[in-house]
């Protein structure tokens, strides 16, 4: 669409919705009960299938895709163009969520206006349109995006969290790095929330068109389109996802026990010959890079050490997340599985895991954060609440060889790539451009 559309003022649309709508609007696709407390003032907007929204009432709601902490997402078609279908993201109605949504719109607008010929531009889910809808619960910022397929969490779950074949891993990681190269070098944007749920697989138009046909047919029958046909569009489900992963036997990378050999887990033949295109989603936490940035960002399993200690952060935090994700794509396990412990606070435990994998954290890095004194001894730079015997170096390549029966040369090659991304010193961490030139990706 023309960029002028983004420059026009946000249009407020008053939608008269009564309490009766609550009885019919929420055909939850994820089999979870409707929490009516989330549809109170400041909460989610009540939406019904076949309802029309938009500046010209051009978007017709076909099915619900999912619900996250901050928004609901719906599958809709553009009545002015029967061939056009979109994912409609509707944020909660409180002032807090409005501010977050406006920031996301601003970030996406900046990305949209970039040079589409640049490498990585096509690795970002672009904003199509945005507008305001009003309901009993407040004013809701609405954004439309292209319809996407499953998230990478969905794919790993479908594969029983056994990881993907290495050729597929390289394909995915290369595309993520291309997207980050564009965001960092051309847009000056830090994504700040890379995780499985925010990386999505593209689908072709014919598949989307078939979903529209089925959705309209199912709506006439008064039933919901099967969840498997739809995308959840990168909703924020950190807590729910963690619960799901634990229930499905989700594994973690670092264990005290001797590795048990697993000959098939990291090389599922199901994924060997699949060629997929992915895009980076959800810019709700993204921000322009600037000096002196501090604060808590990133899902905990993908959180960089500089964020944990509240030091200044920049583009390298995204590369740390890519390192964690690459291990996860390869094994189905978290590299840093952070859990609550009676003996050790969560952040201390997390830094202990990082210390083990990275074989230490340089003192000058450990002590540069606002919270460093909480975690590290000022004289020695050692961790305060972690016993030394718990900090024995844990080699990633040992995990690949001993647990997954990889060839040593393959294990060391990927380990070399990962260690450039999970380098404790953010200034020494590989950039997206540097990572794209790594030997592992080209092997």
103-106, Cβ contacts within 8 angstroms, sequence gap of 24 or more: 103/284, 103/286, 103/287, 104/143, 104/283, 104/284, 104/286, 105/130, 105/141, 105/143
Stretch 112-136: mean pLDDT: 97
3-state secondary structure of 134: strand
Q: What is the CATH number of the domain that holds 139?
A: 3.30.200.20
pLDDT recorded at residue 343: 77
Flag whether pLDDT at 107 surpasses 70: yes
Higher pLDDT, 179 or 387: 179
pLDDT band at 218 (very low <50, low <70, confident <90, very high): low
pLDDT band at 240 (very low <50, low <70, confident <90, very high): very low
Torsion angles phi and psi, residue 375, rounded to 5: -105, -30
Stretch 91-102: mean pLDDT: 96
CA dist., res. 299 & res. 348, Å (int): 16
Q: Which of 230-234, 240-244, 409-413 has the lowest mean pLDDT?
A: 240-244
Residues 404 and 422 reside in one and the same domain: yes
**What is the domain range of residue 191?**
150-202+222-443
CA dist., res. 246 & res. 236, Å (int): 17
The answer to whether residue 215 is domain-embedded is no
Flag whether pLDDT at 237 surpasses 50: no
Residues 126 and 186 reside in one and the same domain: no
Stretch 25-34: mean pLDDT: 44
Q: What is the DSSP letter of 371?
A: T
> Regarding beta strands 189-190 and 199-202, do their DSSP bridges make them parallel or antiparallel, or are they unpaired?
unpaired
Flag whether pLDDT at 149 surpasses 90: no
Flag whether pLDDT at 209 surpasses 80: no
Higher pLDDT, 209 or 125: 125
Q: What is the pLDDT of residues 317-346, one digit of tens each?
A: 999 999 999 999 999 999 999 987 767 899
Q: Extract the runs of DSSP E, i.e. beta strands, from 92-172.
A: 127-135, 138-146, 148-151
Highest-confidence range of 17-31, 220-234, 418-432, by mean pLDDT?
Answer: 418-432
pLDDT recorded at residue 208: 57
Q: What is the CATH number of the domain that holds 293?
A: 1.10.510.10
Helix runs in 332-438, H state only: 346-358, 363-366, 372-375, 396-398, 404, 408-421, 432-436
pLDDT band at 250 (very low <50, low <70, confident <90, very high): low
CA dist., res. 332 & res. 63, Å (int): 31
Higher pLDDT, 272 or 56: 56
CA dist., res. 109 & res. 164, Å (int): 34
- How distant, in Å, are the alpha carbons of 34, 87, 181, 213 from that of 431? 43, 32, 8, 44
Residues 161 and 130 reside in one and the same domain: no
Task: Domain count for the chain, please give it.
Answer: 2
Residues 129 and 79 reside in one and the same domain: yes
The answer to whether residue 213 is domain-embedded is no
CA end-to-end span of the chain? 39
CA dist., res. 214 & res. 208, Å (int): 10
Closest CA to 231 of 61, 46, 74: 74
Residues 282 and 295 reside in one and the same domain: yes
pLDDT recorded at residue 193: 98
pLDDT recorded at residue 211: 60
The answer to whether residue 323 is domain-embedded is yes
Residues 257 and 339 reside in one and the same domain: yes
89 is in an annotated binding site: yes
């Amino acid at each position: 669409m023309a960029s002028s559309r983004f420059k026009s003022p946000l249009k407020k649309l008053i939608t008269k919705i009564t309490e009766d709508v609550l009885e019919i609007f929420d055909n939850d696709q994820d089999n979870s009960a409707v929490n009516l407390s989330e549809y109170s003032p400041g909460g989610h907007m009540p939406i019904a299938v076949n309802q029309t929204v938009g500046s010209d009432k051009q978007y017709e709601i076909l099915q619900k895709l999912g619900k996250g902490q901050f928004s609901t997402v719906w599958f809709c078609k553009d009545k002015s163009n029967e061939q056009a279908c979109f994912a409609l993201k509707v944020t909660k109605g409180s002032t807090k969520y409005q501010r977050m949504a406006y920031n996301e719109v601003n970030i996406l607008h900046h990305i949209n206006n970039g040079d589409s010929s640049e490498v990585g531009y096509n690795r970002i889910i672009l904003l199509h349109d945005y507008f305001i809808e009003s309901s009993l619960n407040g004013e809701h910022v609405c954004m439309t995006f292209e319809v996407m397929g499953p998230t990478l969490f969905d794919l790993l779950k479908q594969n029983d969290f056994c990881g993907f074949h290495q050729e597929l891993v390289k394909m995915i990681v290369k595309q993520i790095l291309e997207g980050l190269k564009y965001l960092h070098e051309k847009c000056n944007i830090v994504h700040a929330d890379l995780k499985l749920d925010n990386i999505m697989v593209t689908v072709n138009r014919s598949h989307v068109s078939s979903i529209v046909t089925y959705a309209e047919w199912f709506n006439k029958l008064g039933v919901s389109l099967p969840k498997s046909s739809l995308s959840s569009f990168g909703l924020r489900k950190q807590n729910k996802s963690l619960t799901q992963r634990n229930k499905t036997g989700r594994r973690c990378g670092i264990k005290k026990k001797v590795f048990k050999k697993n000959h098939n887990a990291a090389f599922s033949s199901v994924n060997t010959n699949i060629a997929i295109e992915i895009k980076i989603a959800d810019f709700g936490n993204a921000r322009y890079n600037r000096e002196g940035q501090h604060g808590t960002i990133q899902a905990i399993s993908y959180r960089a050490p500089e964020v944990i200690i509240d030091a200044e952060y920049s583009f390298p935090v995204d590369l740390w997340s890519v390192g964690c994700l690459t291990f996860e794509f390869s094994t189905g396990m978290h590299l840093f599985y952070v859990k609550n412990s009676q003996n050790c606070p969560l952040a201390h435990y997390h830094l202990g895991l990082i210390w083990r994998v990275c074989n230490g954290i340089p003192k000058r890095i450990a002590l540069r954060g606002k919270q460093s004194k909480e975690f590290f001894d000022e004289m020695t730079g050692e961790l305060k609440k972690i016993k030394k015997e718990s900090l024995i170096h844990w080699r990633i390549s040992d995990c690949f060889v001993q647990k997954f029966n990889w060839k040593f040369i393959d294990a060391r090659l990927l380990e070399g790539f990962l260690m450039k991304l999970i380098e404790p010193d953010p200034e020494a961490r590989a950039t997206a451009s540097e990572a794209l030139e790594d030997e592992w990706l080209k092997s």
